[in-house]
Amino acid sequence: MDKTKLIRTIYLYLFSLVGLVLVIIAGVRFIDMGLKAWVFTEADNYMYEYEYARPITVDKDGVEVEAEELSDEEKEELRQDRITQQRHRDASSASAQLIVGLPLYLYHWRMASRKRKEEDEV
């Protein structure tokens, strides 16, 4: 086997591995999201128990106005919105990994398999 064939073989298997790793990571992240949504429903709550600082409200004369305290319902709604936003970010990231990783893996693995069959026939 000359250097060119060896380098090409290493390239094909390496990029197949990279694609497979991306697919596995995306799968793990989707499973994690599913478990948090349906099994471990309290897993996201630790992140949202504290209240973020709100911007200062100023009236038309430039005088600072006392901010209104949020009701318990508003706090719960805000917490649920933050959880939903985080889940959307996680789903978007995992989907992108899957969209990139699956074709990368399949293309390079097929090329490597085809190359191996050609070498076996010779």
> In the chain, how long is the greatest CA-to-CA distance?
87
Which pLDDT belongs to residue 51? 59
Domain ranges for the chain: 3-121
pLDDT tens string for the chain (122 positions)? 689 999 999 999 999 999 999 999 999 999 999 998 889 888 877 655 555 556 677 777 777 766 677 788 888 888 888 888 989 999 999 999 999 999 999 999 999 999 999 888 87
pLDDT, residue 54, reads 62
Q: Classify burial at 29, counting beta carbons within 10 Å of its beta carbon; exposed 0-12, middle 13-18, buried 19 or more.
A: middle
Report how far residue 32's alpha carbon sits from residue 46's, in angstroms, rounded to the nearest whole number: 16
Contact 97, 29 (CB under 8 A): yes
Structure tokens given for 45: 């709550």
For residue 1, the model assigns a pLDDT of 63
Model confidence pTM above 0.85: no
Which residues on adjacent β-strands are paired with residue 57?
A: 65
